[in-house]
Structures are given as structure tokens and as C-alpha cells.
């Protein structure tokens, strides 16, 4: 099954449409889609004109019903494709052999590692070095409502059953009735939320995935990891219950306040409480299941005396019901598990480290009793894995804020302390001098009772919330991320605020290896993470990181975090501090275009890695990738493999956003495969540090072409007529009003984009890309690359073709651009601006650049047509196009009506425009 939903599902959807009174809407959609299919990719087509005229003749209510049906059809199609992915993955897994393992599997990873010459000891060291941290974020959030998503998960489960072989006719009829019923509910459920999500709603959405598919997928992945390693390197190469937490989940939801005034200190506190409560609930259920399973009796086996003493002396023993204890007096493991359940609920200081120790004690006791399989496999082994990965915090929260907020807060604190009346007027060198001097002073800056502005007060209250959370569980919050980090002062400002809040303190001098003897040093509870976002910041990244690590106070702060890192891993294997550096894919693309952003990110990774490693510090990159190619999206495993050799440390973070979360985690088998591909890539890339053989002329050529690409891209977005064309032709207004996220679409918090050029600067990268996706232009994923390739000589293009075959990085960049070029539908994009003649020249630039990009990419890659190497994806795009066109034509017609509508008519049109945005998000499987 590809983009076609199949005859059975099509028949059942038609039945559901009839039940919901949508037969006429379905018929209109089919007829219009057929016209669009006949129009194909032609720039001008009478069939497409006819299709648009058919839409124009529909009443508003008829358009609403048609959009409702087509959106539901795409929801069904998306689930059908996921079910097919699961089926294909299972078939490939069954066909795999030790000599021919499945591609991107753990078995293949260990085979490749073995071929590199590693033995069992080497593979243990390799696995222990892995530190993979997927990070859930709420922007862009999922366009689908939770009610819709829940029913789609149920629908997928029934589709899986329907695909099973050997069903009886009765079973098949029953499943088909269930599928038809779920389709009816899908058609009868609102696609668009009635009100904007608040932050706690987003927290609950993240918890949904953490508590379900992620909670179940991680232990299965770790079992597979141990089994595959033992198969490749011999029994005992890896012991499941001794594995460190090589996967750990992080979250920004409820902690990321950059540009989101709704994330307050109270929200952060509530988020931390929700994470803790969810973990306690999951663990109570998990320990209860273990109670039912671990029923060994001391009358049947010899339980070690040390364990019996541990049970006897536990302070929670007296809190257990006497009658219950009497029935289990010979079952000490069950009693111990009940003690742990009691402590979970009553001891707020009980954390993941303590839980791991308690579960390991149970494992050792059972092993000493002679039950080695029960001790080291099954539910108990899964529980030990989960305790290491999820602890009692479930996912570690980050705090993020913009550097301008830190600057303002520090300026107030320094003025209150009489240090300097106008910190913001100082030069960078003067700021650093002041900050170093104040960081070395143990005294607080703010006099007792001295007032702060609301913004500064909120910032300091947030840090106090974090301080209290970390005191209870060190893994609850681990990092403070600084948006728009431009210089060393941006980093030291955060340290100063942390000192003021009690998260950093001045301590006596450390040994000379960490700085001059007798000099003051810092001890901290949080990592400070610079975020490099713009092209300029990526260029300056090496110097910034060097200045941080060369600063004695900052270095002492970083070294003080090594013990915390050891505890995070539950093993004493990290001998050096870890500096995390976040890379922004969204703003670098919006700033410099697709090719320049990719080149700048690759170059920054190489240079920053050198600056970190030369100073004896370990490096972890945090990749702020979005869901679309224009924001760094694409296959996560391939992106890891394509990273430069210095970045392949085995320590990696990456964001998982919005619809990407539901695509990867809504169904447990998809989640498991996603994690397997990531671990596969991390294993292979960190084991193999070789760079591909490259022509020495290639880097300079690629850099020159990137600059050419950026110049072309800037000529588009800096054109005086561009911004007017963009906001007056596309659905940026409905996107701004769509209640799919708590975060405003504008950095200033304005309700809509400004009509002048400043609107572009304040518009966030996500709605910028989202609008291009809706219009089917997708320019952030390819614009500028055509001019760059066209500027190369035939000899240079031949060199690029050679480099494309040798370099996975260049192959990934050009393949991603090719996919976006294939997904772009310029005949549709043209129709958005038909009413705006001033934009004709702008659209001509898009059309010309698209043609040049297609020609250039095909020449360099050697393909005869876009999608040649990914035929299944290409076929899916082609089959989706006509039905997606239906939604676009409906949106274009509604935008046209809204321009001339009175207030009452606009009130009717606006909700329907939101439905088209939601429908197109489903059709394109992307919000940005």
C-alpha cells in the first residue's frame, strides 16, 4: 500500500461519509481531485482552472463538508501508510539473517562495528559512551486534536488486524465494522481545537507519549541491543541489567520560555510536578506487576541474609498492613516491593538513583538464590532499564530564555547592588570584567526586599523553582539553554543569575589543574548551554566556546558538574566535563537559506568540536531540528551518520517536535524502529571516525556555492515587494490564529505579522516554514541552490558529482533538497498570488529558481528524474498531489472570499480557513 488508501478502506470511508451526510461532499472531492490529477504538473492547465471554478461555485457549507471529508481521508491515508511501514519492517526483520542483517538494525550496527576490529571489550566501551537524548518540544505543536489522534491510533490498530492473514470471514466483517465506526467518529469530530492550547495542555500531550509508546519501547530496544551484541561478540558481551542509560528523554515543554509569556515559574513548577506524578503512577503500576511475578519463597530457595536484613530494617515496613504481611511472611521480595511502593508515594526525596539501587538489590538477591534468568531477564530487567532511563522524573526538563532577558535582569541586579548604573551601556569587554568580578563574590546582589521589574522577578522566581526541584531530584532539570548567544557575557550573565538564585555558589579554590591556586571557583547544579542560531553566530561559535572554556570561573563551574554527570549515568565512567552546544537549524535557514545554513552548520560543528576537544573537555551537540527539511528535518539516523567526524562523539541531543512526535511515537512499533535507527547510527558513527575521501578542492567550492546560494536567497526575502506578496497571498493570518500552540507566532507577541519589512524579522521560523508548506512552495528547503549550482562551471559540477558519491553529508543535503523540489507544487503556489499583481515578479523568481534547482540537482546526483532513488516516496507524493490540490483550491477560494467579506461573513469563514490549514497539515504531514 502506498499513497492509495486501498479499495477496502475507500469503500469503508464512503460508507462512513454516507452515514455522516457527506456523500455529496465526497463526490465533489472525487471529481475535483480527478480534474487536478489530469492537470498534473502543467504550469497552466484548463483542467485545474475547471477544478478551481468548481470550488468557486460551492457554497461555504459545501466547501466545509468537502474539506472535512478530504481531511479525514488524509488522516486515514497517513495511518494506512504507517501500518504498511510496520508490516514491511516486520517482513524485513523476518527475512534477515546473521550474514544479511536488516538495514539500519542493531544487528547490522554490531556487524559493522565488528568489521572495524572491535572486540567484546571495545564494544562495551562503545556502548557505555553512548548518550542519546531525544528532546520533546511543543513548537510547532501537533495540528491534530488529541481526540482525533486517539481515534487514529485505534484505527491503526484495527488496520493492522485487517491486514492479518488467515482471518475468518466473520472476523473480517467484525473488523470492517469497527473500522467503519471509527471512520464515522473521525468525520464527526472537530479537527480544530475550540481554543488555543495552554502550556499544561502541551505538557499533557508530551506525557501521553512518554507514558505509552516511549515507556514500552525503550526496554524492548535495550533487550534487542544486548541480544544483538551477544550474538555478534559472544555471550556476556553486554549484560542487560548492567547497561547504562544510553537513551534518556528530555523535554522543553513547560520550561522553554523564549518568546512564550505563558511559560511562567508557576507553569514550570506545575510541569515538574506533573512529570514526577506521572512517573510515580507508572512505577507504582510497574512495582505492583513485579509483586505479582516475583513470588519466590524463602522456604523454597535460599534468600541471602543481607537482603532479609534490608527488608527487616526498612522504615516503611511498619506502615504495611499486618494481615497482608502475615500472608507474605515467607516472600521477602514481594514485601520489599511493597515497601518501595510505599516510599514512592510518601518520600518526595526518593529519586531515580535510589530506585535503581533498590531494584539492583532485588536482582542480586534473586541471582544469589540461584534464579539467574529471573534475575537478569523479563520484567525485572525491564524495570532496571526503565529506572536508569526514566528515574522518577520521567524526562529531564530544560529551561530556555532569550539572552536579551538575561541581560535586562542582570542590569537590574547590578544597579540595585550599586555595581554599575547602566550595565547595558558597557562594551562586551567591560561587561565580562564586571561579571567576573561579581561571580567571584559570595554576597548576593539584590538587597532584601528590593523590587524588581516583572520580567526580572519572573526570571529569578523561575530559577528558584529550578533550585528547589534540583534539590529534590538532580535529574529533574539539568540545563539552562541561552537563545541568541552572541558572546561570553551572555553565558556569564546566566551564571550570575544562577548564583543569585542559589544554583551556583562560590567555593574555596580547587586544585591547580582547574585554575590558579587560591583563585575563587564556582560549584553549580545546572549546565549552561549556548544556542548558536544565526549564520553569524555559527561563524563566531568557535571563538565563543573557546572563550568560555578558557575562562577560569566558567571552567570551574563546568568541572563541578562532573560528579552530577557521573550520577546521571549511574556509572563512574565519565572522567571529564561535558560541554553541550546547541545548534539552531530554523533561524540559520531563515537567515541564510537552505544551502548556506547546511554549510554553516557543518563548518561550525567542525570548528567548535576542535575548540572543545583541544581543551580536554567532552562535547555533546544538541541539534535543534524541526520537522521539515527547511528546519533541519529528515531521517534522524541519516543526519547522525552524515555529521562531521569530530561531532561523532556518541553523545547527542536532538529535538522531536509537533507532528514529528506523533508520527514517530503514536504507534509503538514505529517508535521502536525510530529508536533502533538512531542507536544504530550512533553506534556506527561513533565507532568509525573516518572522514570520506574528498577532493581537496571540494570544501572551497562548496563554501563559495553556499555564499552564492545565500546571495540569491537574500535577493528574494530582501526584495521590497516580497513581504507584501507573502503576507497578502498566503495563509499566514489563519496560521497565526490557529489554536495549535501556546507560543505566539511572532517574537514580539503581536497577533499578526506587520505589513512592513519588520514583520519578517519578528515572524518566527516555524510559521515562516509552515506558510510555505501550506502554499506548496516549500522554498526554505531549496531556494538558492539552483543559482549556486548554475554558477558552477561544468568542471566544478563534475567535481560536485564526485563529492556527492563520496560524501554522505553532501548526499543528504542534495537528496533532501530533491525531495522538497519534488513536493513543491508551483502551479498551486501561483494561484495564491493571482489577485496580487505586484507579486508576479516574485513568483517568477520562485519559478526560475525551482527550474534551475531541479536541473542542477539532477546533474550533480546523476538522476534522470526527482525521486528516482526513492520510488515509494515519489509515488506517494504523486498520488497525494491531486487530493492535496483540492484542499489548496478550497483554501485559496476562502481567502478570496475573506478579503471582501463583511464582519459576519468573516466570522463564518475564519473557522473554515482553520480547517483547511489543519487539512493541509495532514496532507503534507507537516506544520513546520
Give the cell for residue 928.
Answer: 513546520
Q: How far apart are the first and last CA of the chain?
A: 26
Give the cell for residue 317.
Answer: 515496613
Alpha carbon 449 to chain centroid, angstroms: 41
Question: Is residue 139 annotated as a catalytic residue, yes or no?
Answer: yes
Q: How many residues does the chain have?
A: 928
CB-based contact 110:233 (threshold 8 Å): yes
CB-based contact 137:253 (threshold 8 Å): yes
Q: How buried is residue 490: exposed, middle or buried, by Cβ count under 10 Å (0-12/13-18/19+)? A: buried
CB-based contact 851:731 (threshold 8 Å): no
Residue burial 159-195, b: 16+ Cβ < 10 Å; e: rest: bbbbbeeeeeeeeeeebbebbbbbbbbbbeeebbbee
3-state class of 740 per DSSP? coil
Number of H helices, E strands in the chain: 41, 10
Distance in angstroms (rounded) separating the CA atoms of residues 119 and 161? 43
Measured in degrees and rounded to the nearest 5, phi and psi for residue 657 equal -125, 145
Catalytic residue among 75, 139, 265, 393: 139
Question: Is residue 590 annotated as a catalytic residue, yes or no?
Answer: yes
CB-based contact 181:208 (threshold 8 Å): no
In sequence order, what are the beta bridge partners of 656?
136
Q: If we measure between CA atoms, which residue out of 669, 547, 543, 563 comes closest to residue 608?
A: 543
Give the cell for residue 186.
Answer: 473521525
Distance in angstroms (rounded) separating the CA atoms of residues 265 and 782? 40
Beta strands per DSSP E along 103-231: 131-137
Query: Element (H or E) spanning 280, and its range?
Result: helix 265-293
Give yes or no for a cis peptide into 140 (omega within 30° of 0).
Answer: yes
Query: Element (H or E) spanning 676, and its range?
Result: helix 668-687
Alpha carbon 293 to chain centroid, angstroms: 36
3-state class of 101 per DSSP? coil
Cα dihedral angle (56, 61, 63, 69), rounded to 10 degrees?
A: -160
Pairing of strands 521-524, 504-507: antiparallel
Catalytic residue among 406, 557, 590, 850: 590
CB-based contact 830:843 (threshold 8 Å): yes
Question: Which of the residues are catalytic?
Answer: 139, 590
Amino acid at each position: 500500500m502506498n499513497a492509495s488508501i486501498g479499495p477496502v478502506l475507500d469503500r469503508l470511508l464512503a460508507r462512513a461519509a454516507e452515514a455522516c451526510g457527506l456523500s455529496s461532499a465526497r463526490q465533489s472531492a472525487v471529481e475535483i481531485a480527478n480534474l487536478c490529477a489530469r492537470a498534473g504538473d502543467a504550469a497552466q492547465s484548463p483542467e485545474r482552472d475547471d477544478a478551481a471554478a468548481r470550488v468557486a461555485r460551492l457554497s461555504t457549507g459545501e466547501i466545509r463538508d468537502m474539506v472535512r471529508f478530504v481531511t479525514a481521508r488524509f488522516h486515514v491515508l497517513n495511518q494506512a501508510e504507517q501500518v504498511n511501514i510496520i508490516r514491511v519492517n516486520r517482513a524485513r526483520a523476518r527475512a534477515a539473517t546473521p550474514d544479511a542483517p536488516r538495514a539500519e538494525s542493531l544487528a547490522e550496527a554490531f556487524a559493522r562495528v565488528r568489521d572495524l576490529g572491535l572486540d567484546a571489550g571495545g564494544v562495551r566501551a562503545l556502548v557505555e559512551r553512548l548518550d542519546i537524548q531525544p528532546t520533546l518540544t511543543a513548537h510547532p505543536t501537533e495540528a491534530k486534536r488529541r481526540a482525533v489522534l486517539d481515534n487514529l491510533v485505534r484505527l491503526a490498530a484495527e488496520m493492522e488486524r485487517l491486514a492479518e492473514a488467515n482471518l475468518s470471514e466473520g472476523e473480517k466483517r467484525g473488523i470492517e465494522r469497527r473500522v467503519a465506526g471509527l471512520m464515522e467518529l473521525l468525520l464527526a469530530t472537530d479537527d480544530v481545537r475550540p481554543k488555543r492550547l495552554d502550556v499544561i495542555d502541551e505538557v499533557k500531550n508530551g506525557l501521553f507519549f512518554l507514558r505509552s509508546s516511549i515507556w514500552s519501547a525503550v526496554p524492548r530496544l535495550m533487550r534487542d541491543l544486548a541480544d544483538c551484541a551477544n550474538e555478534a561478540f559472544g555471550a556476556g558481551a553486554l549484560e542487560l541489567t548492567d547497561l547504562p542509560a544510553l537513551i534518556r528523554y528530555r523535554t522543553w515543554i513547560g520550561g522553554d520560555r523564549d518568546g512564550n509569556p505563558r511559560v511562567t515559574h508557576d507553569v514550570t513548577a506545575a510541569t515538574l510536578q506533573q512529570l514526577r506524578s506521572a512517573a510515580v503512577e507508572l512505577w507504582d503500576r510497574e512495582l505492583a506487576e513485579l509483586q505479582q511475578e516475583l513470588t519466590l519463597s524463602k522456604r523454597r530457595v535460599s534468600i541471602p541474609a543481607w537482603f532479609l536484613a534490608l527488608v527487616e530494617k526498612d522504615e516503611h515496613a511498619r506502615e504495611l498492613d499486618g494481615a497482608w504481611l502475615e500472608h507474605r511472611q515467607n516472600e521477602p521480595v514481594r514485601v520489599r516491593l511493597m515497601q518501595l511502593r510505599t516510599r514512592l508515594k510518601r518520600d518526595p526525596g526518593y529519586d531515580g538513583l535510589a530506585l535503581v539501587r533498590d531494584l539492583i538489590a532485588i536482582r542480586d538477591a534473586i541471582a544469589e538464590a540461584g534464579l539467574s534468568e529471573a534475575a537478569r531477564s523479563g520484567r525485572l530487567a525491564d524495570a532496571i532499564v526503565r529506572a536508569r532511563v526514566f528515574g522518577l522524573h520521567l524526562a529531564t526538563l530544560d529551561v530556555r530564555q532569550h539572552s536579551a532577558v538575561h541581560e535586562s535582569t542582570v542590569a537590574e541586579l547590578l544597579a540595585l547592588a550599586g555595581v554599575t548604573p547602566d550595565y547595558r551601556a558597557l562594551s562586551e569587554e567591560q561587561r565580562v570584567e564586571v561579571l567576573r568580578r561579581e561571580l567571584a563574590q559570595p554576597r548576593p546582589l539584590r538587597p532584601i526586599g528590593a523590587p524588581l521589574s516583572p520580567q526580572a522577578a519572573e526570571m529569578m522566581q523561575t530559577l528558584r523553582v529550578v533550585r528547589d526541584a534540583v534539590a529534590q531530584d538532580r535529574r529533574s532539570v539539568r540545563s539552562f539553554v541561552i537563545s541568541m548567544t552572541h558572546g561570553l557575557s551572555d553565558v556569564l550573565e546566566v551564571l550570575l543569575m544562577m548564583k543569585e538564585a542559589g544554583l551556583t555558589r562560590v567555593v574555596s579554590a580547587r586544585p591547580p589543574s582547574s585554575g590558579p591556586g587560591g583563585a575563587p571557583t564556582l560549584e553549580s547544579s545546572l549546565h549552561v548551554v549556548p544556542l548558536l542560531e544565526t549564520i553569524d553566530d555559527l561563524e563566531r561559535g568557535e571563538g565563543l566556546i573557546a572563550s568560555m572554556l578558557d575562562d577560569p570561573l566558567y571552567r570551574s563551574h563546568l568541572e563541578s558538574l562532573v560528579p552530577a554527570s557521573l550520577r546521571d549515568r549511574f556509572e563512574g565512567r565519565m572522567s571529564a566535563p561535558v560541554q553541550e552546544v546547541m545548534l539552531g537549524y530554523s533561524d540559520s535557514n531563515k537567515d541564510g537559506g537552505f544551502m548556506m545554513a547546511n554549510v554553516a552548520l557543518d563548518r561550525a560543528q567542525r570548528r567548535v568540536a576542535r575548540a572543545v576537544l583541544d581543551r580536554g573537555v567532552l562535547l555533546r551537540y544538541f541539534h535543534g531540528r524541526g520537522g521539515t527539511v527547511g528546519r533541519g528535518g529528515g531521517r534522524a539516523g541519516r543526519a547522525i551518520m552524515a555529521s562531521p567526524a569530530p561531532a561523532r562523539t556518541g553523545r547527542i541531543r536532538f529535538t522531536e517536535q509537533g507532528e514529528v512526535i506523533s508520527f514517530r511515537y503514536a504507534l509503538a512499533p514505529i517508535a521502536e524502529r525510530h529508536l533502533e535507527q538512531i542507536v544504530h547510527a550512533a553506534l556506527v558513527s561513533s565507532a568509525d571516525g573516518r572522514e570520506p575521501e574528498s577532493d581537496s578542492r571540494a570544501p572551497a567550492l562548496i563554501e563559495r556555492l553556499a555564499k552564492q546560494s545565500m546571495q540569491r536567497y537574500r535577493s528574494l526575502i530582501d526584495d521590497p515587494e516580497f513581504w507584501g506578496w507573502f503576507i497578502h497571498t498566503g495563509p499566514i493570518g489563519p496560521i497565526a490564529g490557529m489554536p495549535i500552540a501556546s507560543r505566539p507566532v511572532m517574537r514580539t507577541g503581536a497577533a499578526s505579522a506587520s505589513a512592513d519589512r519588520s514583520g519578517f524579522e519578528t515572524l518566527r521560523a516555524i510559521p515562516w516554514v509552515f506558510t510555505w508548506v501550506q502554499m506548496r512552495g516549500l522554498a526554505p528547503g531549496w531556494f538558492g541552490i539552483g543559482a549556486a549550482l548554475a554558477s558552477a562551471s561544468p568542471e566544478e559540477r563534475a567535481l560536485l558529482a564526485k563529492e556527492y558519491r563520496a560524501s554522505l553529508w553532501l548526499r543528504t543535503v542534495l537528496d533532501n533538497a530533491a525531495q522538497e523540489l519534488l513536493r513543491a507544487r508551483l502551479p498551486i503556489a501561483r494561484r495564491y498570488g493571482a489577485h496580487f499583481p505586484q507579486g508576479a515578479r516574485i513568483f517568477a523568481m520562485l519559478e526560475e529558481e525551482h527550474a534551475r534547482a531541479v536541473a542542477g540537482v539532477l546533474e550533480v546526483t546523476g538522476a534522470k528524474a526527482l525521486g528516482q532513488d526513492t520510488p515509494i516516496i515519489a509515488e506517494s507524493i504523486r498520488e497525494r498531489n491531486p487530493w492535496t490540490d483540492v484542499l489548496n483550491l478550497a483554501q485559496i477560494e476562502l481567502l478570496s472570499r475573506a478579503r471582501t467579506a463583511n464582519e459576519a461573513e468573516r466570522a463564518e469563514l475564519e473557522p473554515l480557513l482553520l480547517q483547511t490549514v489543519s487539512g493541509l497539515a495532514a496532507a503534507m504531514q507537516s506544520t513546520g
